[in-house]
């Protein structure tokens, strides 16, 4: 949970506050848990939302990088990607694109779920993800071997 919050916010303190806010919400609204998902998934959604609220408070960059989805081929190289380098690259992404990338690729949410959580359209979610991957490929290119 904390790791997810940290990846979305990109800040240790903001991640801690997001986790704290999230668990306050969990305890206050545990009665409204409708068991449509597991308790863990429900809590994780609340943590993600709390982390996203922290990002929104600082700066909403979702529209600052309105790159349209394209059919450009992305190639992640023939050699393994170093996890720590990927982590650093993720942290260098714009906040909106980082949130979408973390939710889609790391946490496994569908674009529909991401669109609901971020209050954006599914198209925006897809374009933000594409932009994030394109940027990551650029950031990781020095180590990539084609």
Figure out which of the listed residues 87, 110, 123, 141 binds another protein, where binding follows CB under 8 A.
87
What is the crossing angle of helices 39-58 and 111-118, to 10°? 50
CB under 8 Å to 15, separation ≥6 — which residues? 2, 5, 6, 8, 9, 51, 54
Q: Does 65 bind another protein (CB under 8 A)?
A: no
Q: Does 105 bind another protein (CB under 8 A)?
A: yes
User: What CA–CA distance (Å, rounded) separates 42 from 24?
Assistant: 14
Residues numbered 33-62 forming contacts with another protein, rule: CB under 8 A: none
How many beta carbons lie within 10 A of that of residue 65, not counting itself?
A: 16
Q: Does 99 bind another protein (CB under 8 A)?
A: no
Q: Does 14 bind another protein (CB under 8 A)?
A: no
Nearest to 128 by CA among 105, 107, 106, 98: 98
- Cβ closer to another protein: 38 or 72? 72
Q: Does 103 bind another protein (CB under 8 A)?
A: no
Nearest distance, CB of residue 99 and another protein, angstroms: 15
Q: Does 31 bind another protein (CB under 8 A)?
A: yes
Nearest to 118 by CA among 137, 85, 95: 95
Going from the C-alpha of 14 to that of each of 102, 104, 144, the distances in angstroms are: 16, 21, 32
76, two tokens: 């992640």
Figure out which of the listed residues 8, 15, 46, 115 binds another protein, where binding follows CB under 8 A.
15
Q: Does 3 bind another protein (CB under 8 A)?
A: yes
Binding site for another protein (CB under 8 A): 2-3, 6, 12, 15-16, 19-20, 23-24, 27-28, 30-31, 71-84, 86-87, 105-106, 133
């Amino acid at each position: 949970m904390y790791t997810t919050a940290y990846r979305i916010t990109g800040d240790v303190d903001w991640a801690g506050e997001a986790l704290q806010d999230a668990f306050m919400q969990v305890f206050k609204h545990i009665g409204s848990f409708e068991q449509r998902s597991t308790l863990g998934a429900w809590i994780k959604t609340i943590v993600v939302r709390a982390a996203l609220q922290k990002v929104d408070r600082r700066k909403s960059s979702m529209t600052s990088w309105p790159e349209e989805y394209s059919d450009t081929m992305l190639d992640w190289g023939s050699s393994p990607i170093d996890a720590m380098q990927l982590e650093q690259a993720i942290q260098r992404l714009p906040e909106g694109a980082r949130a979408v990338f973390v939710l889609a690729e790391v946490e496994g949410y569908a674009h529909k779920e991401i669109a609901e959580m971020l209050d954006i359209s599914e198209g925006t979610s897809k374009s933000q993800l594409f932009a994030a991957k394109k940027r990551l490929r650029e950031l990781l290119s020095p180590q990539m071997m084609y």
